[in-house]
Protein backbone atom coordinates (compact mmCIF):
# COMPACT_ATOMS: atom_id res chain seq x y z
CA UNK A 1 0.00 0.00 0.00
CA UNK A 2 3.03 2.34 0.27
CA UNK A 3 2.83 3.08 -3.45
CA UNK A 4 -0.83 4.12 -3.37
CA UNK A 5 -1.43 7.86 -3.35
CA UNK A 6 -4.55 8.68 -1.36
CA UNK A 7 -6.51 11.92 -1.46
CA UNK A 8 -7.90 13.35 1.75
CA UNK A 9 -11.41 12.68 0.44
CA UNK A 10 -10.64 8.98 -0.09
CA UNK A 11 -9.03 8.60 3.32
CA UNK A 12 -11.84 10.44 5.11
CA UNK A 13 -14.58 8.42 3.40
CA UNK A 14 -12.76 5.14 4.11
CA UNK A 15 -12.20 6.00 7.77
CA UNK A 16 -15.83 7.03 8.19
CA UNK A 17 -16.88 3.69 6.69
CA UNK A 18 -14.47 1.85 9.00
CA UNK A 19 -15.75 3.67 12.11
CA UNK A 20 -19.36 2.96 11.14
CA UNK A 21 -18.64 -0.74 10.61
CA UNK A 22 -16.80 -0.95 13.91
CA UNK A 23 -19.61 0.82 15.76
CA UNK A 24 -22.23 -1.51 14.24
CA UNK A 25 -20.11 -4.56 15.06
CA UNK A 26 -19.87 -3.53 18.69
CA UNK A 27 -23.65 -3.21 18.95
CA UNK A 28 -24.15 -6.68 17.50
CA UNK A 29 -25.38 -5.66 14.05
CA UNK A 30 -24.65 -7.75 10.97
CA UNK A 31 -21.76 -6.26 8.97
CA UNK A 32 -21.27 -6.91 5.26
CA UNK A 33 -17.89 -5.34 4.53
CA UNK A 34 -18.24 -5.77 0.76
CA UNK A 35 -21.18 -3.37 0.72
CA UNK A 36 -18.99 -0.66 2.22
CA UNK A 37 -16.15 -1.44 -0.20
CA UNK A 38 -18.55 -1.34 -3.16
CA UNK A 39 -19.79 2.09 -2.13
CA UNK A 40 -16.21 3.38 -1.91
CA UNK A 41 -15.48 1.89 -5.34
CA UNK A 42 -18.47 3.76 -6.78
CA UNK A 43 -17.23 6.99 -5.23
CA UNK A 44 -13.57 6.80 -6.16
CA UNK A 45 -13.11 4.08 -8.80
CA UNK A 46 -10.48 1.91 -7.12
CA UNK A 47 -10.87 -1.84 -6.59
CA UNK A 48 -12.54 -3.44 -3.56
CA UNK A 49 -9.25 -5.17 -2.73
CA UNK A 50 -7.42 -1.85 -2.55
CA UNK A 51 -10.00 -0.46 -0.12
CA UNK A 52 -9.90 -3.62 1.98
CA UNK A 53 -6.12 -3.21 2.23
CA UNK A 54 -6.60 0.39 3.30
CA UNK A 55 -9.03 -0.79 6.00
CA UNK A 56 -6.30 -3.11 7.29
CA UNK A 57 -3.90 -0.15 7.32
CA UNK A 58 -6.45 1.78 9.39
CA UNK A 59 -6.50 -1.17 11.81
CA UNK A 60 -2.73 -0.93 12.05
CA UNK A 61 -2.80 2.78 12.82
CA UNK A 62 -5.46 2.15 15.50
CA UNK A 63 -3.23 -0.54 17.02
CA UNK A 64 -0.32 1.92 17.17
CA UNK A 65 -2.64 4.39 18.90
CA UNK A 66 -3.56 1.74 21.47
CA UNK A 67 -7.17 1.61 20.26
CA UNK A 68 -9.27 -1.37 19.31
CA UNK A 69 -9.50 -2.48 15.70
CA UNK A 70 -12.23 -4.32 13.84
CA UNK A 71 -12.31 -8.11 13.72
CA UNK A 72 -11.71 -9.51 10.25
CA UNK A 73 -9.48 -6.56 9.35
CA UNK A 74 -6.15 -7.68 10.75
CA UNK A 75 -3.62 -4.83 10.96
CA UNK A 76 -1.39 -4.59 7.88
CA UNK A 77 1.98 -2.88 8.22
CA UNK A 78 2.48 -1.97 4.56
CA UNK A 79 1.92 1.72 5.12
CA UNK A 80 4.32 4.64 5.24
CA UNK A 81 4.61 7.14 8.11
CA UNK A 82 3.14 10.06 6.14
CA UNK A 83 -0.08 8.24 5.23
CA UNK A 84 -0.27 6.82 8.75
CA UNK A 85 -0.05 10.32 10.20
CA UNK A 86 -2.88 11.49 7.94
CA UNK A 87 -5.04 8.53 8.97
CA UNK A 88 -4.34 9.20 12.64
CA UNK A 89 -5.26 12.87 12.25
CA UNK A 90 -8.52 12.02 10.48
CA UNK A 91 -9.40 9.40 13.09
CA UNK A 92 -9.03 12.05 15.78
CA UNK A 93 -11.13 14.54 13.83
CA UNK A 94 -13.92 12.03 13.33
CA UNK A 95 -13.90 10.92 16.98
CA UNK A 96 -13.59 14.48 18.26
CA UNK A 97 -10.57 13.51 20.36
CA UNK A 98 -7.11 15.08 20.23
CA UNK A 99 -4.15 13.06 21.46
CA UNK A 100 -0.38 13.13 21.15
CA UNK A 101 0.43 11.75 17.66
CA UNK A 102 2.27 8.42 17.69
CA UNK A 103 1.68 6.57 14.40
CA UNK A 104 4.38 8.14 12.22
CA UNK A 105 7.00 7.87 14.97
CA UNK A 106 6.22 4.21 15.73
CA UNK A 107 6.32 3.24 12.05
CA UNK A 108 9.67 5.01 11.66
CA UNK A 109 10.94 3.04 14.68
CA UNK A 110 9.86 -0.27 13.12
CA UNK A 111 11.38 0.58 9.75
CA UNK A 112 14.70 1.49 11.37
CA UNK A 113 14.69 -1.64 13.56
CA UNK A 114 14.42 -3.82 10.43
CA UNK A 115 17.62 -2.40 8.93
CA UNK A 116 20.68 -4.61 9.03
CA UNK A 117 23.65 -3.17 10.91
CA UNK A 118 21.77 -0.09 12.02
CA UNK A 119 24.47 2.41 13.05
CA UNK A 120 24.50 3.69 16.60
CA UNK A 121 22.56 6.99 16.51
CA UNK A 122 23.99 10.15 18.01
CA UNK A 123 20.55 11.11 19.28
CA UNK A 124 19.70 14.66 20.24
CA UNK A 125 21.07 16.08 23.50
CA UNK A 126 18.61 18.98 23.34
CA UNK A 127 15.29 17.74 21.90
CA UNK A 128 13.02 20.49 20.60
CA UNK A 129 9.78 21.11 22.41
CA UNK A 130 6.43 21.08 20.64
CA UNK A 131 3.27 22.49 22.16
CA UNK A 132 0.35 20.11 21.53
CA UNK A 133 -3.23 20.69 22.62
CA UNK A 134 -4.77 17.46 23.96
CA UNK A 135 -8.46 16.96 24.72
CA UNK A 136 -9.26 15.00 27.88
CA UNK A 137 -12.60 13.45 28.75
CA UNK A 138 -14.01 14.02 32.22
CA UNK A 139 -14.25 10.82 34.26
CA UNK A 140 -15.96 9.84 37.50
CA UNK A 141 -13.28 8.89 40.08
CA UNK A 142 -15.81 6.67 41.85
CA UNK A 143 -15.92 4.36 38.83
CA UNK A 144 -12.19 3.66 39.11
CA UNK A 145 -12.34 3.40 42.89
CA UNK A 146 -15.20 0.87 42.77
CA UNK A 147 -13.60 -1.29 40.08
CA UNK A 148 -10.26 -1.38 41.93
CA UNK A 149 -12.09 -2.23 45.13
CA UNK A 150 -13.89 -5.12 43.42
CA UNK A 151 -10.64 -6.43 41.94
CA UNK A 152 -9.10 -6.53 45.43
CA UNK A 153 -5.53 -6.40 44.15
CA UNK A 154 -5.94 -9.11 41.47
CA UNK A 155 -5.74 -8.49 37.72
CA UNK A 156 -9.10 -9.28 36.14
CA UNK A 157 -7.41 -10.63 33.00
CA UNK A 158 -4.52 -12.89 34.02
CA UNK A 159 -6.03 -13.31 37.53
CA UNK A 160 -2.63 -12.83 39.16
CA UNK A 161 -1.88 -10.48 42.08
CA UNK A 162 -0.82 -6.92 41.28
CA UNK A 163 2.91 -7.01 40.39
CA UNK A 164 3.89 -4.38 42.94
CA UNK A 165 2.57 -1.87 45.44
CA UNK A 166 2.14 1.79 44.58
CA UNK A 167 3.81 4.58 46.54
CA UNK A 168 0.74 4.68 48.78
CA UNK A 169 1.12 0.99 49.63
CA UNK A 170 -1.93 -0.21 47.67
CA UNK A 171 -1.73 -2.96 45.00
CA UNK A 172 -0.97 -1.33 41.66
CA UNK A 173 -3.58 -2.03 38.99
CA UNK A 174 -4.71 0.15 36.09
CA UNK A 175 -8.24 0.94 34.93
CA UNK A 176 -9.12 -0.11 31.38
CA UNK A 177 -12.29 0.74 29.48
CA UNK A 178 -13.10 -2.29 27.33
CA UNK A 179 -14.76 -0.02 24.81
CA UNK A 180 -12.52 3.03 24.79
CA UNK A 181 -13.97 6.40 25.73
CA UNK A 182 -12.59 7.80 22.46
CA UNK A 183 -14.72 5.21 20.65
CA UNK A 184 -17.90 6.18 22.47
CA UNK A 185 -17.53 3.81 25.43
CA UNK A 186 -19.20 4.64 28.74
CA UNK A 187 -17.40 5.80 31.87
CA UNK A 188 -19.21 3.10 33.85
CA UNK A 189 -18.37 -0.01 35.85
CA UNK A 190 -20.12 -2.08 33.16
CA UNK A 191 -17.34 -1.04 30.77
CA UNK A 192 -14.30 -1.02 33.07
CA UNK A 193 -11.85 -3.56 34.44
CA UNK A 194 -8.75 -3.51 36.62
CA UNK A 195 -5.63 -4.84 34.88
CA UNK A 196 -1.98 -5.32 35.71
CA UNK A 197 0.36 -3.17 33.57
CA UNK A 198 1.35 -6.14 31.39
CA UNK A 199 -2.22 -7.14 30.53
CA UNK A 200 -3.15 -3.49 30.04
CA UNK A 201 -0.39 -3.03 27.45
CA UNK A 202 -1.36 -6.30 25.74
CA UNK A 203 -5.02 -5.35 25.33
CA UNK A 204 -3.97 -2.02 23.81
CA UNK A 205 -1.07 -3.13 21.63
CA UNK A 206 -0.92 -6.94 21.54
CA UNK A 207 -1.62 -9.25 18.60
CA UNK A 208 -4.12 -11.14 20.80
CA UNK A 209 -5.92 -8.03 22.03
CA UNK A 210 -9.30 -9.14 20.70
CA UNK A 211 -8.97 -12.56 22.36
CA UNK A 212 -8.19 -10.86 25.68
CA UNK A 213 -11.23 -8.61 25.27
CA UNK A 214 -13.46 -11.62 24.54
CA UNK A 215 -12.07 -13.36 27.64
CA UNK A 216 -12.94 -10.36 29.80
CA UNK A 217 -16.53 -10.26 28.52
CA UNK A 218 -16.86 -13.98 29.28
CA UNK A 219 -15.37 -13.88 32.77
CA UNK A 220 -16.10 -10.47 34.32
CA UNK A 221 -19.81 -10.64 35.02
CA UNK A 222 -20.47 -6.91 35.35
CA UNK A 223 -19.29 -6.11 31.82
CA UNK A 224 -21.97 -5.28 29.26
CA UNK A 225 -21.56 -4.82 25.53
CA UNK A 226 -22.96 -1.48 24.36
Q: Mind listing the pLDDT tens digit for each residue in 67-109?
A: 888 888 999 988 888 899 999 999 988 877 777 788 888 888 8
CA-wise closest residue to 19 among 105, 87, 102, 101: 87
pLDDT of residue 159: 96
Cβ atoms of residues 77 and 60 within 8 Å? yes
Instruction: Locate CATH 1.10.30.50 in the chain.
Output: 141-219
User: Could you tell me which residue, 143 or 1, shows the higher pLDDT?
Assistant: 143
Q: Summarize the confidence of residues 17-26 as an average pLDDT.
A: 90
Alpha-carbon gap, residue 125 to 172, rounded angstroms: 33
pLDDT of residue 94: 83
Cβ atoms of residues 199 and 155 within 8 Å? yes
Fold of the CATH domain 141-219: DNA Binding (I), subunit A (1.10.30)
pLDDT in tens, 193-202: 999 999 999 9
CA-wise closest residue to 51 among 21, 94, 88, 81: 21
Amino acid sequence: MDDVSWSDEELKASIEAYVEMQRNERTGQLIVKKQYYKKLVEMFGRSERVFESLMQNISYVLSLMGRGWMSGLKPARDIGPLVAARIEQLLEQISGQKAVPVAAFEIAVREAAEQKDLPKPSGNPRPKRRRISVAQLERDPNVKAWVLQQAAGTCESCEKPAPFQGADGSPYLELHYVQGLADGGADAVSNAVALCPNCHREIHYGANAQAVEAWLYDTVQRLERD
